[in-house]
Amino acid sequence: MKIKYDKFGPEKIIQVYDPKTGMRGVTVIHNTNLGPGKGGIRMTPTVDVEEVYRLAETMTWKNALADIPFGGAKSGIIADDKKISQEEKDEIVAAFSKAIKEVTPELYIAGPDMNMAEHEMEIFANANGDKKSCTGKPAEMGGLPHELGSTGFGVYHSTLVAIEHLGLKHEEISVAIEGFGNVGTFLMKFLTEKGIKVVGVSDSKGTIYNKEGLDYDKLMKVKEESGSVINYEEGEKLESKDLLALDVEILIPAAIPDLITNENKDSIKAKIIPCGSNLPISEEIEEEFHKKGILVIPDFVANAGGVISSYVETIEGTPEKMFEIVEEKITANTLEMLERSKEKNIKPRDASMEIAKERVEARDKNV
């Protein structure tokens, strides 16, 4: 996908390089009609301008649909954090922060994304010289770290709305979660506390499956002590890719982009796919699933809990206030999307895009 320039953006594409640290990075500010562009920084060896653009555009719609006063933006730092020390990583993050200082926080507010967490946000804020330049900071800096589980909490509530929409009963549902990081772990916690059975979980090492359900506390302990869910003893060990074909009602992508492809789409048996990760499925495959009666809740609807938490951080709200607002907005927005989708007989993504664009354009007309 190449960069598409239209009436919404992108407004700025900033590429930076620091010869001293070797830092290479990009920030895309897609749209600022509703407020400063908001979106996290990811650090991977493969991130590029097009990927960051796609994510920045998604943030425009996510923030508009979340009904918060942010535009859309995103950043990427091209580096493999597994091959550098923490000290080198800190230097790279600091160099990136200084390089984009001219647009923060008036036009861009950063946050954590892949391989970035509250420590890196502390480094970013200190290097930038402005605490308002990013969210997801440590609590002692006035932050509401994503480690509180806001994204997983939001995906959980979006999933509950979908379950009710299809008239399913909690005790008859089984769930598979791709990825057991910050989103997947909290997601499993909230689902199992609700009495919903999680039967399969995957990470980069493989999948663990038990049709009777997995125990959250035990799985967390295994992951923390051994580094992978596959070392959970009470289950069948499968390859990571096998998670997609499990016989479950709900499949939740919660880690990598482009997870569901033309090669594996026909193996999926789930009735509901709430997208906990960003860009796990193409719009073309979403269309196919919609025709098959598979309900896909788009990423910018389901996983907006993190950015709603970021908004609460900017207004100096408490963790309790954050969870309250995430539940309220995710529930209302998912419901509005599903009702419009049903009313117009269009796929949920099209319904949610209509709502998001209406909000962005309404603000543009009022400026």
**Active site positions, annotated:** 74
Query: And the tokens for 125?
Result: 């804020």
Closest residue by Cα to residue 15 from 28, 4, 32, 5: 28
Q: How far is CA 128 from CA 75, 139, 217, 247, in A?
A: 15, 18, 39, 48
Q: How far is CA 196 from CA 148, 160, 161, 214, 235, in A?
A: 21, 10, 14, 11, 18
Nearest-angstrom CA–CA distance, 334 and 320: 21
Q: How far is CA 226 from CA 34, 203, 209, 234, in A?
A: 45, 12, 17, 15
Identify any residues that bridge with 43 across adjacent strands, giving them in sequence order.
77
Q: Are 156 and 269 in contact (CB under 8 A)?
A: no
Q: What angle do CA 287, 211, 254 make, to 5 degrees?
A: 45
Q: How far is CA 235 from CA 126, 172, 218, in A?
A: 45, 20, 12
Nearest-angstrom CA–CA distance, 169 and 173: 7
Closest residue by Cα to residue 155 from 223, 285, 57, 253: 253
Residue 133 C-alpha from the chain's centroid: 20
For the chain, where are the alpha helices, taking DSSP H only? 49-66, 86-99, 118-128, 150-165, 182-193, 216-226, 283-292, 299-302, 305-314, 319-344, 348-366
In terms of C-beta density within 10 A (0-12 exposed, 13-18 middle, 19 or more buried), how is residue 259 classed? buried
Q: Are 19 and 92 in contact (CB under 8 A)?
A: no
DSSP string, 191-258: HHHTT-EEEEEEETTEEEE-TT---HHHHHHHHHHHSSGGG-SSSEEE-GGGGGGS--SEEEE-S-SS
